[in-house]
Amino acid sequence: MSDFDTENVYEQIANDLRATGLSIIENAIDPSIIQALNERIASLEADTFQTAGIGRQNDHEKNAEIRRDKIRWLDKNSQQEAGYLNAMDDLKDYLNRRLFMGLFSYESHFAHYEAGAFYKKHLDAFKGKANRVLTTVFYLNDDWQPQDGGELVIFDAEDHEKEHCRVLPKKGTLVTFLSDEFPHEVLAAKKSRYSIAGWFRINASTAGHIDPPR
């Protein structure tokens, strides 16, 4: 058994979300889970990562102006990926108990930003359509330095033009925020950058209308 204090991390996230809708925590996940994720990535062939899209549109040129990362969805069939997905399930249950958020499901993908890749400023969900309610971004990069670039820039929830903070994509850092409130952007990095972007959804399916999962 690891002695990592998961409850304490979940508690901090719940408190931050209640106060501001945004939480940034270093060393947020059990190191053995992070090691398994990095071993998993090392074992994956580069061509299992696919060019990421935006929403349901399929215009590849326009897409490449907005984002240049390559992605691969996680699933529990891989034991290494399951470690992370189970931690996020536990976080979901914790937030539902503490904040009554009604989170229902979680989906997430590895994202690989090669040197020079970026993701322009965007919101992960739009008000009123938001069945993606809570975003998580988790970082996997050893020894990331300020001069390596690749920061996540988070903008102010009230004033979308105003920069709120920048986060270095350092191994172990977990960022959690309300998906329809915080615009954010990934600056170009000088070297290869790995993250896991994920979203908790509420159950938006109603009779006769099944909301597509992705």
Decide which of Fe ion, ligand AKG, none touches 111; Cβ closer than 5 to 8 Å per partner kind.
ligand AKG
What beta strand segments (E) does 2-126 contain?
22-25, 50-51, 70-73, 105-113, 119-122
140 lines the binding site for ligand AKG (CB under 6 A): no
Max CA separation in the chain (angstroms) = 52
- Which of helix, strand or coil describes residue 51? strand
Contact between 136 and ligand AKG by CB under 6 A: the answer reads: no
C-beta of 149 vs 183, nearer to Fe ion: 183
Q: Does 37 bind ligand AKG (CB under 6 A)?
A: no
Interacting partner of 148 out of Fe ion, ligand AKG, none (Cβ under 5 to 8 A depending on kind)? none
CB neighbours of residue 65 within 10 Å:
11
Of 30, 69, 81, 124, the residue at the interface with Fe ion (CB under 5 A) is: 124
One of 9, 111, 140, 154 touching ligand AKG (CB under 6 A)? 111
Residue 133 contacts ligand AKG per CB under 6 A: no
- Which CB atom, from 5 or from 59, has the smaller least distance to ligand AKG? 59
Q: How far apart are CA 198 and CA 214, in angstroms?
A: 11
**Cα torsion 98, 102, 169, 182: sign:** negative
Contact 201, 105 (CB under 8 A): yes
Angle at 171 between CA 155 and CA 191, to 5 degrees: 80
Give residues in contact with ligand AKG (CB under 6 A): 111, 119, 124, 137, 152, 169, 184, 186, 195, 197
Give residues in contact with Fe ion (CB under 5 A): 124
